[in-house]
Structure 1
């Protein structure tokens, strides 16, 4: 039974020897309390031992980490010391080089000052000599003008006398104006008249820009240009817009130089919308309609001109060249126009 219950019952009932029972129950209670206290102490001791072991483990881990960081810091400090020593050495070498450069600069400045002084002295001497030479030249000019004025007056008087005498002799003899020359009396065969085609076909290379100049010099000539054929021959890597602007700029200058009528034709069969473009002065710009190629538009332009008018068509397309030649136009290669525009 519980010692406390036994002690309480003995105290209340008071049997024989109840005092001993109460004392024994008290001792048993004290012994149980002591055992419980010992057990709690052992558990607390175990807990403290576990905490101590854990703390020791953490301490060892932290110590190792701190040692590693300390070693890393030592290595970094040593590296920084070496860098510092290297930087100090570089600074010393730089200061020495700077001192040497300063010394050399001072020497160069002194030498330059000496040369400037010598040059100024030479300049003053040359200016003095130049002033003397200008004074001598001016004196010589005055003397020459004075002497030449008298001679000019005498020569002019003699020339006026001769001219008046010749005019009087022409009036006296009533001579008509000369209509023939000595070379007209020489017996020879005169050349026949050259037609515009003969003029254009004289001995010039098909790639000589002078041939195009001759053709554009014909009266009322009309130059028709196959636009994309020329641009893709001369500068194919550029975008189409820049190709058009570059060609039209050159044609505008060519029109201003020659006064010829110029029409530039571009293929517009596949365009979704009209091209926004301000034609340059002196150049007519045309795009073919949907379903019509630029080659066909060029042939229409050639057929629209009256027979006998000089027509020049610029295209490397053999079909276009043959077609316009049959219609009476003069085909020329695109390279010829590019060479001519390169001179603009």
Structure 2
């Protein structure tokens, strides 16, 4: 059933796994069916759709002989045809008779099974006795064989002892020869170590000379770069060239703060529980963070006035920009008003209002389209339509709850 149709006492049970629902929620469901006529009728309609022939037969007062008594009783209780109480009682009686018959058959089967088990145990005992006799016979034969092998092993042990004495004598001779060879090897090792030390000293001298040569070249390059930088700065001042680089987001047409005819329009917010996504996006180089302003403030500061919401968001974004140095653009919904909206934007935060007849979602899409392909763009909004559209355009949607959590942590 849809969630709105489920009675309030059963909404918690409706979220159970279907296999656990009947076991854990049978009593509340039965009570609701008994006391809530509308709920019982809704369930009865579902039963009539699933078993139309059975429901039709019960309505005519006929009980199909091959039908399951449990299903018959349930259908009669829910649909309430004439004489439904008698139908339920008949089904109960059929179930009791079936249970008694099943119990008698089970007892007979148990007696037969016990007799078969007794016969099998007798057969197994006889087989086990025969097997033990064979094992005893084999053990006796094995004992005789082991005695013979023990005598042979003793003879081999005496021969091995004689060979051991001969090997020890040979080992002593080899040890004497190895000691002499070790002395000669140690002398050769000392000579090789002296040669290695000489080679390492020569290598260190070569490395020092190479480092000194690279240091001179690096100093020359740094002097050249400083000269070029000073020359370009002087040429920029002489030609009166702009000192800032225009960013793609500056080209999007919108209403700036303070312009007349702008007011805030609240946006829909959705919840989110992924705390790592925003931190990973802020770590990307040259990321552009586009924020649906009222979508964020309504989620986090809905009890404040719109002016206080904007001020609190600007305060938090100022600290975020100071920490991360990312480009931030905040877009607020705008509409006609007689007085301008005052917003004090911190350094590094661009604030835009949508023009009359336009919503902030459209301005956000324009900002995403204005960026070059390949640039990292994160759009903070819990509006599902906005998230899906900017994802298709190559931006990464971020839930408003993540930004609120990040600002609270800062």
Q: Structure 1 length as normaliser, TM-score?
A: 0.41
- Work out which of the two has the higher radius of gyration on C-alpha atoms and give 1 or 2: 1
